[in-house]
Structure 1
Amino acid sequence: MQLEQLLKSLEQRQQAPTQLWNPPYCGELPMLIDEHGQWHYSGSPIQRAALVKLFASVLVKEGDDYFLVTPVEKVKITVVDVPFMITTWQRQQHQQDQVIGVTTNIGESFPLSTTHPLQMRGQVPYVDCGRELWAKVHRNVLYQWAEIAEPELYTNALGEQRERLVLTSAGQKFTLAELEPDPKSE
């Protein structure tokens, strides 16, 4: 099995073809996705995982707004931060390459790769889920990644030598943290 085949096999995404639909805007729905990726309707958490997965399959982002889109209607919903949370991960070795597979709170899995990169926003890591939708990395996953991340020296934009922690997945390096220089050593 080639690396590309492995990456494709790790992707278990089932999305509706929302990019093909252009329904009329029908207003706002009292639906909220909180900062932990928990979906709520009219103030109550949605407990049925299958229902959340169904809604997630028709979720789109346009600018800063989120919508649920079907062939016949488009409704706006509220997302506090990002719609998903990376809750688990697994490391796989494929020939020479290590691949980090991630799974969201709704059970979607995909590899950390150039298609699904890790991005730091301040001190908080996020992973691109595709279609302009992102997942925040759960604190437990972050702590586990910090244990396996490798230190790397680099030169910043000011020409200063700095150190950072990087994760390697699918032949790519992703910065997990910029390390502050030790004031005693300067």
Structure 2
Amino acid sequence: MSSTFDPAAIGQQLKGQDGIPPLAQWNPDFCGDIDMRIARDGRWFYQGSPIGREAMVKMFSRILWREGESYFLKTPVEKVGIQVDDAPFFVVSVEHAVGEQGPELLFTTSTGDQVRADAEHPIRVEEDAATGEPSPYLMIRFGMEGRIARNLFYQLVELGRMVEHAHGTELVVESAGETFSLGTL
């Protein structure tokens, strides 16, 4: 099934809305899959070509929705399936601050989302079984994660502290009163 995907119509539906729309309240019909993909590095593609307009990518990211392992663009009147190579968001910057609960890590995605690592937005690190290479992620919203850029992971490692356990030494970072593991050494 294919959809008559119309970005201009989506823009009109979202006109005047700031922030993330009430996606959980919308229950549109599924209109099929479209040839849109979010690459591992956060770049968006439509029909095999990169989407060059930053404003359009930001608009699409605001209506991104996840159900199970599937991703959709969701409006009040339609829901279309898209492909995501790894995580739908890509985290491009981190700031270290001190808040009411102590240290805070404030992250920004390539689409402008700003997220503080906390209990609702945990950091997790997945290791490649074959290579042992770490891939760090941050929960952004609606069960969707952002892959943390490698250079930011190195910054987190520098901010981390070692914690000794019976099973080894763990590198952790703290944010908003929570402790997140970056891996066992």
Which range, TM-score by smaller chain? 0.7 to 0.9
1:144 paired residue number: 155
1:178 pairs with 2:174: no
Unaligned runs of 5+ in 1: 1-12, 180-186
2:145 paired residue number: 134
1:127 corresponds to which letter in structure 2? L
2:43 paired residue number: 38
CA distance in 2, matches of 1:21, 1:119: 30
Q: After TM superposition, where is structure 1 displaced by more than 2 Å over at least 4 residues in a row?
A: none
1:23 pairs with 2:28: yes
1:80 pairs with 2:85: yes
CA distance in 1, matches of 2:151, 2:43: 17
Aligned-residue RMSD, C-alpha: 1.3
CA distance in 2, matches of 1:110, 1:142: 16
For residue 95 of structure 1, report the CA deviation from its aligned partner: 4.9
CA distance in 1, matches of 2:51, 2:29: 26
**Aligned with residue 124 of structure 1, among 105, 130, 135:** 135
CA distance in 1, matches of 2:26, 2:99: 38
Overall identity of the aligned pairs, in %: 36
* Number of aligned residues: 162
For residue 94 of structure 1, report the CA deviation from its aligned partner: 2.4
